[in-house]
Amino acid sequence: MIALAKRVGQSKRVSRSSSRRRSAQPTARKPGHGDRRVERKRNELREHRERFFARAIEYIPCREFLKKDAAALATTPPSDAAVPLDRDAADRASAKGLSPYLASLYQTRLLTKTEEQYYFRRMNWLKFRAATARGRLDKKRATRRQMEEIEGWLAESETVKSIIITSNLRLVVSIAKKFIDASNSFEELVSDGNVALMRAVEKFNFALGNRFSTYATYAIQRHFFRMSHKGRQQRNRFVSSDESLKDRAEEISSSEYCSAEQIGVLKEVFGSFLGDLEPRERQIVVARFGFDGKPPRTFRELGSAMGVCKERIRQIQTRALDKLRSMAAEAKLEQTVDNWL
């Protein structure tokens, strides 16, 4: 009996020991709702990082941004920036028979030169600040708060950009009226001109101190010229399949700035500034606009003579004209240039 009791006791102890070992072993747990939510947030943050670092941030560099008081210069508006908008101007414009869209443009007054400088400085400084701060972040460890702060600066720069664009929409309308023809309606010109205006806002170098209206007028005019030339090229293709006529049409369309009136104004306004251009720029401007007394040459002719494509000649001419316009603006000849454009 005693031996039997001992064996029963040993069996119970072994059973209890096995039970304790089984309870000590970890059990597989199925992923719950909390785990899926954490994984989803991680994926969202990773996608947010990818979009954030892939976004292009373009701005006009300026030495003022490197100064200690850069933030103050970019956040202190001029005294006349607080002048309210003219809400009654739209009603007066409607009374004159203008369409609702054109009448609405008169609600926003034109910016002064001081205001222009402030808004362009602020827009580009916000982008500079965002680009600089993003460059310091780790692409794999950037937090949501860090990214949202930088995105806030970029959103504010877009708000400032919209102020500049809205205040210059009337400029697009005034230029579009001069280009209305059978192939270009007023509404289409205004729509395309607004796109050109937006690009001009992005590219305008405010640090030179010039008025934006002068630069924007040139950019919008150039855009309309290109539209007109494309339309003429398309019409010429349907008129005849003769290759010689096509080549001639292309040569004529490439002479977009070479009317007799425009050449006369260019000689009068820009002639004294040619010496400040680079040699190749001066050579192209002189040949393109007949400053040497010879008939103006086409892009194709100059490209063949200089060993480059005609598009390269066009690019150099555009750069040279931008320089000449800046020189003319500094010499107080903006009005003459605007009248030509």
Q: Is residue 110 part of a domain?
A: yes
- Using CA atoms, how far residue 35 sits from 31, 32, 49, 202, 274, in Å, is 6, 5, 21, 45, 71
pLDDT tens sequence across 239-298:
444 444 345 444 444 444 445 555 565 665 566 667 777 888 888 888 887 777 777 788
pTM of the model: 0.57
Q: Are residues 55 and 154 in the same domain?
A: yes
Domain that holds residue 214: 179-253
Q: Are residues 148 and 102 in the same domain?
A: yes
CA–CA dist 224, 228 (Å, integer): 6
State which of 207, 225, 253 marks the end of a domain. 253
Retrieve residue 7's tokens: 């064996």
Q: Are residues 141 and 234 in the same domain?
A: no
Positive or negative, the Cα torsion across 236, 237, 238, 242?
positive
| Angle made by CA atoms 303, 307, 308, in degrees to the nearest 5 | 55
Q: Are residues 150 and 247 in the same domain?
A: no
Q: Are residues 58 and 107 in the same domain?
A: yes
Positive or negative, the Cα torsion across 101, 203, 122, 156?
positive
Domain count, the chain: 3
Q: Is residue 25 part of a domain?
A: no
State which of 138, 167, 196 marks the end of a domain. 167
CA–CA dist 260, 163 (Å, integer): 38
Q: Is residue 220 part of a domain?
A: yes
Q: Are residues 155 and 73 in the same domain?
A: yes
The set of residues, in sequence order, having a beta carbon less than 8 Å from that of 166 and lying 6+ positions away, is 108
CA–CA dist 215, 74 (Å, integer): 22
Q: Are residues 281 and 341 in the same domain?
A: yes
Q: Are residues 161 and 212 in the same domain?
A: no
**CATH of residue 324:** 1.10.10.10
Backbone angles phi, psi at 150, to 5 degrees: -65, -40
CA–CA dist 55, 131 (Å, integer): 10
Q: Among 267, 278, 275, 264, which residue's Cα sits nearest to residue 317?
A: 278
Q: Is residue 265 part of a domain?
A: yes
Positive or negative, the Cα torsion across 332, 334, 335, 340?
positive
Q: Is residue 61 part of a domain?
A: yes
Q: Are residues 281 and 302 in the same domain?
A: yes
Retrieve residue 106's tokens: 């008169």
Q: Is residue 3 part of a domain?
A: no
pLDDT tens track, the chain, 341 positions: 555 455 545 555 555 655 555 555 555 555 566 788 888 989 999 999 999 999 999 998 888 888 888 888 888 888 766 555 555 555 555 545 567 777 778 778 888 889 999 999 999 999 999 999 999 999 999 999 999 999 999 999 999 999 999 999 999 999 988 888 767 778 888 888 999 999 999 999 988 888 998 899 998 988 888 877 665 655 555 444 444 434 544 444 444 444 555 556 566 556 666 777 788 888 888 888 777 777 778 888 888 787 777 878 888 888 888 777 777 666 655 554 444 44
Contact between 262 and 340 (Cβ < 8 Å)? yes
* H or E element that contains 339: helix 334-340
Q: Are residues 134 and 85 in the same domain?
A: yes
Q: Are residues 151 and 47 in the same domain?
A: yes
State which of 227, 253, 279 marks the end of a domain. 253
Rounded to the nearest 10°, the torsion over CA 321, 189, 121, 337 is: 30
What pLDDT shows up at residue 163?
Answer: 92
CA–CA dist 64, 323 (Å, integer): 22
Q: Are residues 336 and 242 in the same domain?
A: no
Q: Is residue 76 part of a domain?
A: yes
Q: Is residue 173 part of a domain?
A: no
CA–CA dist 226, 253 (Å, integer): 9
